[in-house]
Structure 1
Amino acid sequence: MTDSKSDEAREGELRTAIATGVPEIAAMTPGRTGNLSARSGDRVAITPSGVPYEEIQPGSVPVLSLDGESVIGDLAPSSETPMHLGIYRSLDVGAIAHVHSPWATTLAVLGEELPPVHYMVAAAGGPIPVAPYEPFGTVELAEAAVSTMESAGTTACILANHGLVAGGEDVQDAIETAVAVESTAQVYLQAKAVGDPVELTPAQFEGAMAQFDSYGQPERNDAD
């Protein structure tokens, strides 16, 4: 009974995290085109397919196994479930945000990566690469995203002619990574319209990466 209760609590937390994060996804992506997921162990909660964002509550969020089997919920999971599960099986992330935000999607249509023009690109581990085009909702798209991020060493990539996918430690971290990429993509494209953007040197970018590793409040222990 103890393990069962622990599973229920864990799954409930995942579903709540998704429902809580949905408004931020809605602000970044048109219509119902984005999706959000979170993982704990072998359980993954993900936004339901085609449901208006304002109607998504914790109880409407499907929970799946890493193999894609339904665990909780009556609604079908996002059509991009294969991509989310593929990333979880391959990369060390606890949440994934997928959006069709306008500036990152502009880069996707151009087939152009986001270079290190600002230190905020370090939030995703490096310049944001472009995964080759594959139809949405397919295993092939999942494989393209995973391969691209693994090769680049990033937790985000631009999906050619599609949008952006970003991972993080948790839901808020994944959303913040997506926001960092989107805002930097906007600055980059605006700068290109005026002149030639200046990229950070490798040494400068490595320094920014090191600063990101120590950014924020130091961890506290019980004695603090």
Structure 2
Amino acid sequence: MSGTFRPEQLATVTFGGDVVDGHLGPENAEIIQMHSVIYNTRDEIAAVIDTHSPAATAFALANASLPCRTEPLLRFGQSQPVPVVPWGPRGSDVSVKGIARVLAENPGTNAVLLGNHGLLAFGPDPVATGRLVIAIEESAAAELGAAALGGAADFPSGALDAVQAEMKTPRR
């Protein structure tokens, strides 16, 4: 859908939710605080994506964290399980305070599952954040598929260090 946006469909808002330019309908205004708490908590964040992709949302519906057991999660910066924020009405104080609490408890996470809702992923720019969303969705689908085979295996010790070292190795 993002490829079909027209300028009149977009709005510029402050972190407090005040519209600076454009129009923001009530169905979108309620999520501003959910995104703002991430921007206000993590200085390095410049993009937040809220999605309801099927496999990641299945974990959110189950209120189950998504383990880090696929290499793309490591490569895109999510080396710990994606934690779950307990359910609260979208954009409510319960939801926003829950996001803030889970971020404080998991300072290395680049995503949270919103219980009974979906996924919030965040990163340094929209492209990196989009890649993380795809890695999370594919990992969630793989995790669900592996469950039918007896469950996914954890990485061996040192996997994160090995992946990071390999990513720094110059290629010809």
> Where on the TM-score scale, by shorter chain, does this alignment land: which range?
0.7 to 0.9
Question: Unaligned regions of 5+ residues in structure 2, if any?
Answer: none
Specify which of 151, 162, 165 is matched with residue 207 of structure 1: 162
In the alignment, structure 1 residue 128 sits paired with structure 2 residue 82: yes
Distance 2:89 2:166 in 1: 37
Match of 1:111 in 2: 63
In the alignment, structure 1 residue 96 sits paired with structure 2 residue 48: yes
**Partner SS for 2:148:** helix
CA RMSD in angstroms comes to 2.3
Match of 2:33 in 1: 82
**Partner SS for 2:158:** helix
Q: Is the 8 A contact 1:107 1:113 kept in 2?
A: yes
Matched residues, percent identical? 27
Higher relative contact order (CA 8 A, sep 6+): 2
Distance 1:211 1:154 in 2: 21
Residue type of the alignment partner of 2:135: A
Q: Report the TM-score when normalising by structure 2.
A: 0.84
- Cα distance 1:167–1:210, how it changes in 2: closer, same or farther (>3 A)? farther
**Partner SS for 1:194:** coil
Following TM superposition, by how much is the alpha carbon of 1:124 offset from its aligned partner in structure 2, in angstroms?
Answer: 3.8
Match of 2:2 in 1: 22
Residue type of the alignment partner of 1:111: N
Q: Is the 8 A contact 1:109 1:161 kept in 2?
A: yes
Question: Unaligned regions of 5+ residues in structure 1, if any?
Answer: 1-20, 24-53, 218-224
**Partner SS for 1:205:** helix
1:151-170 pair list within 5 angstroms: 151-152=105-106, 153-170=108-125
- Cα distance 1:139–1:57, how it changes in 2: closer, same or farther (>3 A)? farther
